[in-house]
Amino acid sequence: MSTDPAAAPAPKRARVPYRPPLLSLWAQNDLADSVVAFLPGTNLSRLPVISKPFRAAQPLVLFTAARRLKVLDRAQDAFLGVLREVIPERHCFRETWTEGLARWRCVVRTRRSPYGLRVDIVGSPPYLRLRGTNEDHAGLSHRFSPSSSKSLAVKSFRTQVTFPAGAATGATGYVLLLPDSYIQTLGGIYGCYRGSDHEVAAIDPADRVGVLKWMATRRDANGDWTNESTELCTVTPGVCYEVTASFSGKDDDGLMTASVTVTPRGQPPFATIAIQCRASDLDAVQIYNFNDGEAHVGDVEVEYETGETFRGPRLTRFRGVESESEVDEDDESEDA
């Protein structure tokens, strides 16, 4: 066998995959940047169909063209606007009472109750003190302000309530989440005695049991939508109870589930209760006493998202009371 180097076979060259000239030019970033600037908009929209590299580069292509045409801010706003339409935005309304009642509309007297509901902010940290009653479902209300094309879906709720003298004969310390001004209730709390009014009247006052209840619109045994109450816990006079609730999304039957937990101050939380209720758009949060008594309301926090519209039946109005004197505050203020 010959050992002459000249007789050795030449090494094979590695085969270079064929790349069309357009892709070769596109791989040079500076040149691609220049080409994009001179392409009409209709051509820019067709680039992704050429090949996978063009599809991968399309976001950069669009922003490059927008930057060269000095419309990057407008392009970015349009892009984010589309994302807002399909991705829910979460917001949080929080009231700590440090700014007074600036964000609340106050009904302080009605024809049914000339003395009316008395409200003031006391204590440190501050809390809302409710005394008396309008003898109706009326008091303080904060209305959320969604745009005409958006609806609000409640996601969570938190508040604290204290009954200094225990529960009232009727019901006090309402903190409710309401949909679009109708009789329905998304959820909320109030305090009262256990049993119906007739049952309570027959019980010696010393033996009456105060309870904290959750109210929400649910379907009754006849298939009708009514506001039904669920007992959460018994109430000890002077003890502060923190109530938290998280809400699921709407299911195929138009229902959502509220998971409600009560925590007495300085004690472990009670077991969480799951309560199914009707899903509707969030419109307002309302605070009041329905019967004469005193209740203290601490922080109120509501988280909500812009999302799918929930429309419930138009029933009897829940808050449509005629008032002789009412104070209209800034309902359109920014939520925290």
Going from N- to C-terminal start, the domains of the chain cover 16-86, 90-327
**Model pLDDT for residues 55-72, shown as the tens digit of each residue:** 776 777 777 777 777 887
- List Cβ<8 Å contacts ≥24 apart for 195-203: 197/169, 197/170, 200/169
The predicted structure's pLDDT at residue 133: 85
The predicted structure's pLDDT at residue 175: 96
Q: Is 52 helix (H, G, I), strand (E, B) or coil?
A: helix
pTM listed for this prediction: 0.67
The predicted structure's pLDDT at residue 195: 84
The correct CATH number of 90-327 out of 2.60.120, 1.10.1760, 2.60.40, 3.30.420 is 2.60.120
The predicted structure's pLDDT at residue 77: 78
**Model pLDDT for residues 167-222, shown as the tens digit of each residue:** 766 789 999 999 875 678 999 999 998 887 788 888 888 888 889 999 999 888 88
CA–CA dist 269, 261 (Å, integer) = 7
The predicted structure's pLDDT at residue 314: 39
The predicted structure's pLDDT at residue 225: 87
Torsion angle defined by CA atoms of residues 147, 189, 280 and 153, in that order, rounded to the nearest 10 degrees: 50
CA–CA dist 306, 88 (Å, integer) = 5
User: Between vectors from CA 89 to CA 86 and to CA 90, what angle results, nearest 5°?
Assistant: 150
For residue 75, the one-letter residue type is: A
Which regions in the chain score pLDDT beneath 70? 1-45, 47-51, 53-54, 57, 83-89, 108-115, 146-150, 168-169, 181-182, 307-336
What's the Cα-to-Cα distance from 151 to each of 257, 283, 285, 305, 308, rounded to whole Å? 19, 9, 15, 8, 6
